[in-house]
Amino acid sequence: MAIIVDKVQKRKDIALSCIDLLLEKGIKKLTVSEVAIQAGVSKGSIYDYFENKEDIVFEIIRNDIENYQDNLYEQITPTISTREKVFLLFDFLLSENDMFQKHQNIYKEYVSINLGTHNDNMSEFNKECSVFFKTTIEKLIKEGITKGEIIEDSLKLVGGFLAVEKGFLMIHWTEGKDVKGELKEFINMIFDLIEVKK
Handedness of CA 144, 149, 152, 153 (dihedral sign): negative
pLDDT in tens, 138-172: 999 999 999 999 999 999 999 999 898 888 888 88
Q: Note whether residue 187 is domain-resident.
A: yes
Residue 110 vs residue 41, higher pLDDT: 41
Task: Decide if 68 contacts 168 (C-beta within 8 A).
Answer: no
Q: What is the model's pLDDT at position 1?
A: 53
What DSSP character marks residue 155? G
Q: How far is CA 41 from the centre of its chain?
A: 28
Task: Decide if 194 contacts 154 (C-beta within 8 A).
Answer: yes
Helix (H, G, I), strand (E, B) or coil at 2: coil
Task: Residue 160: give its domain's CATH number.
Answer: 1.10.357
Q: Note whether residue 108 is domain-resident.
A: yes
Q: Note whether residue 185 is domain-resident.
A: yes
The HSE-up count of residue 179 (CA atoms within 13 Å, CB side) is: 21
Q: Note whether residue 57 is domain-resident.
A: yes
pLDDT in tens, 16-66: 898 888 888 888 888 889 999 998 999 888 999 998 888 888 888 888 888
CA distance 173 to 118: 21
How many other CB atoms sit within 10 Å of the CB of residue 194? 20
Q: Note whether residue 13 is domain-resident.
A: no
Beta-bridge partners for 150: 195
Q: Note whether residue 4 is domain-resident.
A: no
DSSP string, 41-68: S-HHHHHHH-SSHHHHHHHHHHHHHHHH
This prediction's pTM: 0.78
Q: How far is CA 16 from the centre of its chain?
A: 15
- Which helix (DSSP H) or strand (DSSP E) does residue 38 occupy? helix 32-39
- Which helix (DSSP H) or strand (DSSP E) does residue 10 occupy? helix 7-17
Domain, as residue range, for 99: 53-194
**How many structural domains comprise the chain?**
1
